[in-house]
């Protein structure tokens, strides 16, 4: 699998990473199946895993995905970079934002314990909180970095203005926003271009458009025809398209099954021409 630098000064990671969310939210597989899926990702060359404290069922289950990944990586995780996020809460299963510095400090401590590490390789603000000044949330993570609890800082669900504001506070390694064939907003709102400008890794989450989007990709006949011509699934072709669009892109598709993760990982060995990219985009 191809590798890319995680940000301007970061380490090399696999060009396709694994998103852990689907292994811990509603409809999650049993633990044995989830661990087999993570091991299949490692066997396929994935060396980057993205998680979050709130990838779980509700407030009683916080840290489920982090604990699952820590368990799966025992004896196999030396060369794997695990990124996590803080800044959301799950009261009774809801998804709510909490960017207060005191929450982020406590969340980071809990993530260190769940991941069984002394320092988090990449800690990302999960989403800006409208009730907390953005600079206060970013500043809290910057202090965690100064304290040696966090090695690198990332952002998620942010605008260009917020990226610029954060860069005035602390070096930013990554930005994680939604991007897929149905939602191409990072190309239009300047976020992808800002990441390229500043040497920030762009980690598109939900690259297939969520569970419903993933199902609909197979019904896009023109895209399916192109994928068949290339000898691959529509999903693999979409990931290859993302990788070809920009040198800072590292998609993080989620998976529940070994078959899915192997198919996604194979996108890391696909090379597309400019004409291939144009042809793919014409099917969206």
* Residues recognised as catalytic: 55
Measure the CA–CA gap between 268 and 240, rounded to whole angstroms. Answer: 7
Q: Which residues pair with 85 in a beta bridge?
A: 124
Query: Which CATH architecture does the domain made up of 9-281 adopt?
Result: Alpha-Beta Barrel (3.20)
Q: What percent of the chain has pLDDT over 70?
A: 100
274 pLDDT tier (thresholds 50, 70, 90) = very high
Question: pLDDT for 8-66, tens place per residue?
Answer: 989 999 999 999 999 999 999 999 999 999 999 999 999 999 999 999 999 999 999 99
Rounded-to-integer distance, Cα 99 and Cα 190, Å: 24
Domain ranges within the chain, ordered by starting residue: 9-281
Whole-number pLDDT of residue 78: 83
What element of type H or E holds 5?
strand 3-5
More confident residue, 215 or 72: 72
Q: What is the pLDDT of residue 207?
A: 94
- In angstroms, the CA 143 to CA 130 distance is 21
Which DSSP letter does residue 20 get?
-
Q: What does each C-alpha distance from 281 to 91, 122, 222 come to in angstroms?
A: 40, 32, 10
Q: How far does CA 233 lie from the centroid of its chain?
A: 21
Strand partners, 88: 97
Name 75's Cβ contacts closer than 8 Å, sequence gap at least 6.
Answer: none
pLDDT tens digit sequence for 142-187: 999 999 999 999 999 999 999 999 999 999 999 999 999 999 999 9
Q: How confident is the model at residue 214 (pLDDT cuts 50, 70, 90)?
A: confident
Q: Is the pLDDT of residue 209 over 90?
A: no
Q: Which two tokens stand for residue 7?
A: 């940000």
End-to-end CA gap in the chain: 26
């Amino acid at each position: 699998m191809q590798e890319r630098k995680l940000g301007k000064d970061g380490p090399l990671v696999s060009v396709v990473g694994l998103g852990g969310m689907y292994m811990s939210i509603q409809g999650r597989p049993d633990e044995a199946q989830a661990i087999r899926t993570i091991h299949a990702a490692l066997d396929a060359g994935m060396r980057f895993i993205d998680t979050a404290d709130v990838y779980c069922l509700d407030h009683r289950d916080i840290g489920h995905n982090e604990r699952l990944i820590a368990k799966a990586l025992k004896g196999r995780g030396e060369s794997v970079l695990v990124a996590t996020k803080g800044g959301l809460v799950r009261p009774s299963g809801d998804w709510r934002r909490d960017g207060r510095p005191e929450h982020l400090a406590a969340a980071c401590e809990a993530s260190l314990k769940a991941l069984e590490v002394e320092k988090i390789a990449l800690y990302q603000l999960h989403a800006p909180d409208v009730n907390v000044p953005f600079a206060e949330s970013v500043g809290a993570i910057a202090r965690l970095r100064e304290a040696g609890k966090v090695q690198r800082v990332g952002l998620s669900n942010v605008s260009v203005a917020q990226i610029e504001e954060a860069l005035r506070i602390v070096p930013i390694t990554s930005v994680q926003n939604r991007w897929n064939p149905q939602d191409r907003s990072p190309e239009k709102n300047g976020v992808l271009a800002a990441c390229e400008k500043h040497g920030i890794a762009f980690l598109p989450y939900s690259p297939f458009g969520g569970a419903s989007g993933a199902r609909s990709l197979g019904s896009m006949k023109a895209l399916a025809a192109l994928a068949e011509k290339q000898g691959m699934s529509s999903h693999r072709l979409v990931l290859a398209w993302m990788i070809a669009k920009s040198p800072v892109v590292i998609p993080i598709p989620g998976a529940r099954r070994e078959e899915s993760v192997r198919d996604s990982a194979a996108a890391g060995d696909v090379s597309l021409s400019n004409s291939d990219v144009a042809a793919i985009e014409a099917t969206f």
